[in-house]
Amino acid sequence: MARPRTTSDEAILGAAARAIGRHGPQGLTLAAVAQEAGLAPATLVQRFGSKRGLLLALAAHAEQTVHVPFARARQEHPSPLAALHAALAGLSAGASTPEQLAGSLGFLRLDVTDPEFRAHAAAHALRTREEIAALLGDAVAAGELTPATGVAALARAVQTTYNGVLILWALTGEDTLAATLRHDLDQTLRPYRAGAGK
């Protein structure tokens, strides 16, 4: 009879994400993840097979759960634009320092050079844009954005703003990431806000 798992895969993937924030995917070891998760490295090998297997599982998990901060933000904020701010802040919650963000951005090399990682990253990006577009559509319906707003184009601009802020903030470290993201997102949205031209 198999022994029950005392640590869930989700908890291990959370530990892996934290370890990547310190070491980056290139410098990550199964030993570092095991220490973060409070497990033996052999347990990770049994679950994921290898470091690559663990990183692929983390990429798949990120793709499958990208909707979570958006759903949470919708529950906590009646305003669609407030929910959008909260959701994007939630997506970047694991990057409180430029060093942590740099570790996460190390995944970008895998995402653009490895077809398996690229598939997960592309799906994650598309799902993120769909979630952004849904909130922008709700903002139009709620009268927060003008009726003429092109939701699809603005969703792409918002996503570009979000990703650009992450990189520039990692380089400059100006203000906090949350404050920088809020400011720049407001700049992107300002021309589309209801009453902006008045």
* CA-based nearest residue to 118, from 128, 132, 108: 108
How much is the pLDDT for 36?
87
Q: What does each C-alpha distance from 169 to 90, 92, 95 come to in angstroms?
A: 16, 12, 10
How much is the pLDDT for 3?
45
Domain ranges of the chain: 9-51, 66-192
pLDDT, tens digit (0-9, with 9 covering 90-100), for 141-183: 999 999 999 999 999 999 999 999 988 888 887 788 889 999 9
pLDDT, tens digit (0-9, with 9 covering 90-100), for 77-127: 999 999 999 999 998 877 777 777 777 777 778 888 899 999 999 999 999
Question: Would the CA dihedral through 55, 56, 58, 62 be positive or negative?
Answer: positive
Domain made up of 66-192: CATH architecture = Orthogonal Bundle (1.10)
pLDDT > 90? residue 194: no
How much is the pLDDT for 4?
46
pLDDT confidence bin for 5, thresholds 50/70/90: low
The share of the chain scoring above pLDDT 90, in percent, equals 49
pLDDT > 90? residue 188: yes
How much is the pLDDT for 73?
97
Q: In this structure, what token pair is assigned to residue 131?
A: 């979630």
Tell me if 9-51 shares its fold with 66-192.
Answer: no
How much is the pLDDT for 69?
95
What is the CATH topology of the domain spanning 9-51? Arc Repressor Mutant, subunit A (1.10.10)
pLDDT confidence bin for 196, thresholds 50/70/90: low
Would you call 118 exposed, middle or buried from its count of C-beta atoms within 10 A (0-12, 13-18, 19+)?
Answer: middle
pLDDT > 80? residue 21: no
